[in-house]
Amino acid sequence: MDRKKGDHLLLGAHMSIEGGLYKAIERGTEIGCTAIQIFTTSNRQWGAKKLIEEEIIKFKESQEKHSMLVVTHCSYLINTASPTNAVRHRSKTALREEILRCNALSIPFAVLHPGSRLDGSESESLTWIAEALDEALEASDKTTMILLETMAGQGTTLGNTFEQLATIRSLTEYKKLVGICADTCHLFASGFDFTTHSGYEEMWKKFDKIIGINHLKAIHINDSKKECGEKVDRHEDIGEGKIGKDAFKYLMNDERFLNVPKILETPKLTLQDDIRNMQTLKNLISKN
Ligand SMILES: [Zn+2]
Ligand SMILES: [Zn+2]
């Protein structure tokens, strides 16, 4: 492989869909993103508007024209691990609909928070998550992967250990369509200290052993306002938080992740904030 680091960087940020789904791609293109993340619908409301044909066509055209890799983030309301039947069922429906929207829009990856077990048992909840993934993927055209996100471990959320994520994958029928999205802020908050090179290598070695490194399909690249192991999820600008620049330098230069989209979810008021964080990351790429 003669592809050099930084040559075909898949880097970008979460973009607003205000004014239409395709607008997110235009916004991303404007500030130099080669990959973006969007919500295909409101992330804090149940039920989605039906996509209209014109919107689908516009979105797909824009995606192709700008060769933009698009990832969606599923609604925060979805909790397929909930011990409450009604919530679980509503969540399953919402997940299935999200994957069908991704199919229609030719979006290859949908990032999902595994869920919270609340007062339920961990093993039962992990089984329910796998069941929901299978139902959604069964109904889909098999062109969209669901990416389970690594979580910070707040409260009873699941997915803050590699073991839990591996268990969910192992319980699904459609393993080929279930990957992982690693969030650097969440990994740090959950207790992985990858601020040193040895800590960085150790974390991925563990990931590879328990899940398999080839299942990592996207990275949420965020610094953390909180300390390692605090289990509190607060994103910070790259290099301005407790993770610091060294760790991002290891990540940006890691040949294993050259083709893995890296998406910012750092605090932002305007697109200038994304531009600044992307530049910080680009500056960390070694030139040789
Ligand atoms: Zn997330
Ligand atoms: Zn977060």
Separation of CA 1 and ligand 2 centre (Å): 34
Q: Indicate if 233 belongs to the active site.
A: yes
Ligand nearest to the CA of 149: 1
Separation of CA 183 and ligand 2 centre (Å): 7
Q: Indicate if 235 belongs to the active site.
A: yes
Q: Chunked in runs of 10, what are the mean pLDDT values of the chain (288 residues)? A: 61 96 98 97 81 96 98 96 97 97 98 97 97 98 98 96 98 98 98 98 98 98 98 98 98 97 97 98 89
Q: Indicate if 73 belongs to the active site.
A: yes
Whole-number Å distance between alpha carbons of 244 and 85: 42
Domains of the chain plus CATH, in order, are 16-283 (3.20.20.150)
**62-71: burial string, b at 16+ Cβ within 10 Å, e else:** bbeebebbbb
The H or E element spanning position 30 is: helix 21-30
Identified catalytic residue from 7, 18, 44, 53? 44
Whole-number Å distance between alpha carbons of 207 and 162: 6
- Whether pTM exceeds 0.75: yes
On whether the CB atoms of residues 58 and 35 are closer than 8 A, the answer is: no
Gap between the terminal Cα atoms of the chain: 15
Identified catalytic residue from 3, 30, 64, 76? 76
Three-state secondary structure string covering 172-200? CCCHHHEEEEEEHHHHHHCCCCCCCHHHH
* pLDDT value, residue 3: 45
Question: What does the chain come to in residues?
Answer: 288
Whole-number Å distance between alpha carbons of 231 and 174: 30
Please spell the DSSP secondary structure of 39-99, one letter per residue.
Answer: -SS-TTSSS-PPPPHHHHHHHHHHHHHTT-EEEEE--TT--TT-SSHHHHHHHHHHHHHHH
Amino acid at position 259, single letter:
N
Identified catalytic residue from 149, 230, 236, 274? 149
Q: How many CB atoms lie within 10 A of CB 224?
A: 25
Listed as own residue / partner, the contacts of 271-277 with beta carbons closer than 8 Å and 24 or more positions apart are: 271/27, 271/30, 271/31, 273/237, 274/12, 274/13, 274/31, 274/33, 275/31, 275/32, 276/237, 277/13, 277/237, 277/238
Beta strands 223-224 and 235-236, pairing class: antiparallel
The H or E element spanning position 38 is: strand 35-38
Ligand nearest to the CA of 225: 2
* pLDDT value, residue 267: 97
Residue 41: CB partners within 8 Å, gap ≥ 6? 48, 49, 75, 98, 101
Separation of CA 114 and ligand 2 centre (Å): 13
